[in-house]
């Protein structure tokens, strides 16, 4: 352990376990091994120079007779904030743009088709403070904000779909939202999708800043597959993942910001369970580092954001995670044919009895619902 935080669960196991045991432990913990992806030397060198971790893996599907493989490369970006949280707002945003720009350039070298950044990526994670200023100044228009324009340039330049989770200011409705802007590889904005479930955890309450999203479970048809975005706390809600899947999502991104003491043992469980239960791929992204917030009353130090971004597959396997401590880019090649193959094998959608659940749930949400409890 270098310092007080473990760098990587997987590397710790690899360092200490004998080979035969390691193979079995990894199979039980992580499923079928994900092969390493060969990445170009220029990308490896650039990542090293720019001081971020670069890892590549691939999930392979069975070759079919009638469909060619549907291979797509996703890029998951996790990073620290760049400037101190008391630097001028615009300087902080510009520094984040610059950092993300140099990571996305490496993603392009690696052939990434769809890149996703962490939750509210242009700003420090300040929703623990309860104060509005200067944090709400980070909010931008989803359609016309500088950050969307910046991402549109990236998308056009690299022929890449960009998922850009920001704090959105909706001038028309005088509201803020926690929103992911989805930009096509053409550079056009495909649309936006808002965080459906807003955390109220202990004394931490994000509804101080924005409320539950009103964009439902929109799925975006891109050139590289149908994608959806389940933002942060929404990963605790199986119905949220499920409804994105029912609307056709093949890959569900989960851009997050969460700290070790609170959620780390759940991190490897929830997105992976969603991939299994819904016969789709899920991409869990978390920021890294400890954000110090100056001069505010609540949670100056929210804790350690533990990174560990990973991709989970519908067959129960998952990629290794990025580091718990470093900026990183995880490049994963998926063959989307795996989704239907696993669905045909396991049949969860056919055995799900959803019509009966729709009825049961409709009854259960009523205030005068009588639970089905048998007593002696």
Q: Which stretch binds a copy of itself (CB under 8 A): 4-12, 124-132, 283-291, 294-302?
A: 4-12
- Out of 98, 132, 144, 269, the only residue in the binding site for a copy of itself (CB under 8 A) is 269
In this complex, which beta carbon is closest to a copy of itself, that of residue 90 or of residue 363?
363
- Check residue 33 and report its DSSP letter: P
CB 329 within 8 A of CB 108: no
248 close to 226: Cβ distance less than 8 angstroms = yes
- In the DSSP assignment, the letter for residue 149 is H
Q: Which is nearer to a copy of itself, 110 or 128 (CB)?
A: 128
Taking the least distance from each CB to a copy of itself, the nearer of 43 and 219 is 219
- Distance between CA atoms of residues 116 and 254, nearest Å: 9
Q: Any contact of residue 31 with a copy of itself (CB under 8 A)? A: yes
Tokens of 110: 């690696």
How far apart are CB 124 and a copy of itself at their closest, in Å? 24
337: left (phi over 0), alpha (psi -120 to 50) or beta: alpha
Q: Can you tell me the distance from the alpha carbon of 337 to that of 323, in angstroms, rounded to the nearest whole number?
A: 29
Do the beta carbons of residue 132 and residue 91 sit within 8 Å? no
Residue closest to 84 by CA, chosen among 72, 73, 92: 92
Q: Is residue 251 a contact residue for a copy of itself (CB under 8 A)? A: no
Distance CA 32, CA 139 (A): 42
Q: How many residues bind a copy of itself (CB under 8 A)?
A: 86
Residue 243 in contact with a copy of itself, rule: CB under 8 A: yes
Shorter beta-carbon distance to a copy of itself: residue 31 or 134: 31
Q: Which of residues 339-368 bind a copy of itself (CB under 8 A)?
A: 345-348, 350-355, 357-362, 364-365
Tokens of 219: 């799925």
In the bound complex, what is the minimum distance in angstroms from residue 89's beta carbon to a copy of itself? 29
Stretch touching a copy of itself by CB under 8 A, among 102-110, 130-138, 265-273, 331-339: 265-273
38 CB burial (10 A radius; 0-12, 13-18, 19+): exposed
Residues 317-336: x where in contact with a copy of itself by CB under 8 A, - otherwise, as a string:
x-------------------
Q: How far is the CB of 345 from a copy of itself (least distance, A)?
A: 5
Please tell me whether residue 156 binds a copy of itself under the rule CB under 8 A: no
Residues annotated as part of the active site: 119, 195, 232
Give the nearer residue to a copy of itself in terms of CB position, either 120 or 263: 263
183-242 binders of a copy of itself (CB under 8 A):
184, 186, 188, 190-191, 196-202, 212, 216-222, 226, 233, 236-239, 242
Q: Are 286 and 305 in contact (CB under 8 A)?
A: yes
173 touching a copy of itself, by CB under 8 A: no
| Both tokens assigned to 294 | 């100056």
Q: Could you say whether residue 175 binds a copy of itself (CB under 8 A)? A: no
- Closer CB to a copy of itself, residue 48 or residue 223? 223
Helix (H, G, I), strand (E, B) or coil at 98: helix
Hunting for tokens 């969460």 — which residue is that? 258
């Amino acid at each position: 352990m270098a310092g007080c935080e473990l760098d990587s669960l997987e590397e710790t196991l690899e360092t200490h376990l004998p080979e035969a045991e390691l193979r079995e432990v990894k199979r039980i913990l992580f499923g079928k091994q994900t092969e390493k992806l060969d990445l170009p030397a220029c990308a490896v060198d650039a990542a090293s120079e720019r001081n971020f971790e670069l890892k590549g893996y691939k999930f392979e599907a069975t070759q079919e007779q009638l469909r060619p493989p549907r291979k797509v490369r996703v890029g998951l970006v996790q990073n620290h904030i760049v400037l101190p949280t008391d630097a001028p707002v615009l300087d902080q945003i510009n520094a984040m743009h610059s950092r993300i720009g140099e990571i996305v350039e490496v993603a392009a070298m690696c052939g990434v088709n769809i890149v996703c950044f962490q939750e509210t990526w242009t700003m420090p994670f300040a929703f623990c403070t309860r104060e509005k200023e200067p944090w709400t100044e980070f909010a931008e228009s989803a359609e016309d904000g500088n950050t969307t324009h910046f991402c549109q340039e990236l998308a056009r330049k690299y022929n890449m779909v960009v998922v850009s989770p920001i704090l959105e200011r909706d001038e028309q409705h005088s509201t803020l939202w926690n929103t992911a802007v989805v930009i096509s590889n053409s550079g056009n904005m495909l649309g936006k999708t808002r965080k459906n479930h807003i955390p109220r955890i202990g004394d931490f309450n994000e509804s101080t800043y924005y409320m539950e999203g009103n964009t439902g479970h929109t799925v975006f048809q891109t050139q590289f597959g149908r994608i959806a975005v389940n933002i942060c706390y929404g990963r605790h809600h199986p119905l949220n993942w499920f409804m994105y899947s029912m609307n056709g999502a093949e890959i569900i991104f989960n851009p997050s910001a969460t700290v070790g003491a609170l959620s780390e043992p759940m991190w490897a469980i929830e997105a992976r369970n969603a991939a299994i239960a819904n016969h789709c791929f899920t991409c869990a992204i978390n920021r890294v580092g400890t954000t110090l917030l100056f001069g505010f009353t609540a949670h100056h130090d929210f804790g350690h954001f533990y990174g560990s971004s990973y991709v989970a597959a519908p067959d129960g396997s998952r990629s290794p995670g990025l580091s718990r401590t470093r900026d990183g880019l995880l490049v994963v090649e998926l063959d989307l044919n795996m989704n239907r193959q696993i669905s045909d094998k396991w049949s969860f959608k056919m055995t799900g009895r959803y019509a009966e659940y729709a009825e049961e749930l409709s009854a259960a949400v009523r205030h005068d619902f009588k639970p089905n409890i048998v007593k002696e």
